[in-house]
């Protein structure tokens, strides 16, 4: 019986390491992003994926078309470069939402953070290029209030 318990722990442990993130946490990451802008993607370069790769490097060039907030003074018309790694989930993936690969020509919201050496990178993980829908956050069940003691 002990060996069965040990086997279950070994099988379940890696699964728990990659749990999905609740929408409210993505919304908090978006709210905390130093840069919240809308961009038009002008160019996308991805690393070549040969056979069984699980990650892909992405470099996207974009032009800022609207600014919600910017800690670094981004303005409409500024050209920026965004660097990140796209996770290619395997079959049966259960984990945080991968950052999508941007498409050339698309216009999208972008929640970003600036690294002085490496440029801009996503600040809200898998929701860095899409707003978390308010109804997804609202569906989160709030924690019950503690009962008052007499």
> What ranges do the domains of the chain cover?
35-130
Question: What one-character DSSP code corresponds to residue 54?
Answer: -
Residue 130 has pLDDT above 70, yes or no: yes
The reported pLDDT for the residue numbered 133 is 82
Checking phi first, is residue 119 left (phi over 0); if not, alpha (psi -120 to 50) or beta?
left
SS3 label, residue 59: strand
Burial of 128 (0-12, 13-18, 19+ CB in 10 A): buried
pLDDT band at 57 (very low <50, low <70, confident <90, very high): very high
Across the chain, the runs of DSSP E, i.e. the strands, are 35-46, 55-70, 79-87, 107-115, 119-122
Q: What pLDDT digit, counting tens, does each position of 69-86 carry?
A: 999 999 999 999 999 999
pLDDT band at 148 (very low <50, low <70, confident <90, very high): low
Rounded to an integer, the average pLDDT of 9-29 is 68
């Amino acid at each position: 019986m002990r060996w069965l318990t040990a086997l279950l722990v070994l099988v379940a442990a890696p699964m728990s390491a990659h749990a999905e993130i609740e929408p409210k946490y993505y919304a908090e990451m978006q709210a905390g992003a130093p840069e919240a802008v809308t961009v038009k993607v002008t160019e996308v370069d991805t690393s070549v994926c040969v056979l069984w790769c699980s990650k892909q490097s992405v470099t996207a060039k974009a032009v800022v078309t609207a600014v919600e907030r910017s800690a670094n003074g981004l303005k409409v018309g500024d050209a920026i470069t965004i660097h990140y790694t796209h996770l290619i989930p395997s079959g049966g993936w259960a984990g945080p939402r991968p950052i999508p690969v941007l498409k050339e020509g698309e216009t999208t919201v972008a929640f970003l953070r600036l690294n002085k050496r490496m440029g801009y990178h996503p600040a809200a993980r898998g929701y860095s290029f899409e707003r978390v829908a308010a109804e997804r956050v609202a569906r989160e069940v709030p924690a019950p209030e503690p009962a008052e003691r007499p």
